[in-house]
Amino acid sequence: MPQKKRYYRKLYKWIIAGVNLYSLIVIISFIAVLAYGTIGSYLMRDEFSGIKSLNDSFYYTVVTYSTLGDGNIYPVTERAKYLVITMVVLGFGNFAMFVSVVFYQVVNRIQKALNKLHGGKLHMKDHIILCGYSVLTELLISKYNKSNIKFIVLDNRPHPELPNEENFLFVNVPNRAESLAKANIEFCKAVIATSSLDSENILAAINANKLREEYGAKFKILVRVLYEENAEPAKRNGADHVISPTLMEATAIIGLL
């Protein structure tokens, strides 16, 4: 029983993964108009030729929305005809949008599956890799989106608040060499270690520098450290630039006095 629950939970997560607000509205609207046509035609089944059961009503509704009817079932009273008119007005556009949403989701899943077959490697070039997620990451994402700068975020938990899925790569360990390689690090412009932990950022610098030497690449490595004493270890381990918000704040405060 617990295994079955886990299976259904995973299935549910798989179904809703990647469904944005627009898709959700379209799906709910389609279900509503489908229910409207099915229940309405069933309640008025005596005013239709060919409707005897709820299954007939459902079939008639789907056929009406998709092909405007096939002639086997048709209204025989004025009231039934008005129902069909409202069904066509409400349902035809909803059906078209529903099909487009389903098609988009299927194509999106196929692209993700192909991406996994290629080892999850992205094919960006001249992009910026943000390794880890913090308040600094959020600020950089906002700036990059406004400036149309290509970037990819590496993190071990999903971030639905990101406007574009292609800007996020889910990895178990963001600062691992394999994770950086999946982000097409050899063709990137810079790697910015933006985790809230100094140790994680220094490890990101070590692995990024190792891959830079291995690929003969020329990207920059920027590391954010909270504590000033960690700036030197970061530089020794491959960081081209080290940024310490704490030191910058202290300098700014001293300058104001």
For residues 137 and 252, state if they share a domain: yes
Is the residue at 123 inside a domain?
no
Coil, helix or strand for 161? coil
Whether the CB-CB separation of 193 and 200 falls below 8 Å is answered with yes
CATH of the domain at 70: 1.10.287.70
Residues 148 and 102 in one domain: no
Same domain? 175 vs 81: no
Would 41 be classed as within a structural domain?
A: yes
Same domain, 88 and 151: no
pLDDT on residue 105: 73
Assess whether 157 and 104 both reside in one domain.
Answer: no
pLDDT in tens, 126-160: 999 999 999 899 999 989 989 989 999 998 887 76
Q: Does residue 86 contact residue 70 with C-beta atoms inside 8 Å?
A: no
Same domain? For 36 and 57 the reply is yes
- Model pLDDT, residue 47: 93
Report the predicted TM-score, pTM, of the whole model to 2 decimal places: 0.55
pLDDT of residue 117: 44
Query: Is there a domain that residue 70 lies in?
Result: yes
Distance CA(235)–CA(205), nearest Å, equals 9
Nearest-10 Cα torsion for 131, 209, 146, 245:
70
List the CATH number of the domain containing 176: 3.40.50.720
Instruction: Look at residue 150 and tell me if it is in a domain.
Output: yes
Same domain, 103 and 181: no
Of 57, 91, 117, the residue that ends a domain is: 117
Q: Could you give the CA distance from residue 134 to residue 183 in angstroms, rounded to a whole number?
A: 19
Residue at 122 is within a domain: no
Type of residue numbered 118: H
**Where in the chain does DSSP place strands (E)?**
48-49, 74-75, 128-131, 151-155, 168-170, 190-193, 220-224, 241-243
Q: With a cut of 70, list the residues of the chain below it in pLDDT.
A: 1-20, 68-69, 108-122, 160-161, 163-166
- Among 89, 117, 145, give the residue marking a domain's end: 117
* Residue 201 · residue 234 · CB < 8 Å: yes
3-state secondary structure 230-255: HHHHHHHCCCCEEECHHHHHHHHHHH
Say if residue 246 is in the same domain as residue 153: yes
Parallel, antiparallel or unpaired: strands 151-155 and 48-49: unpaired
Ramachandran angles phi, psi of 174, nearest 5°: -60, -35
Where in the sequence is the domain holding 153, given as residue range(s)? 128-256
Domain count, the chain: 2
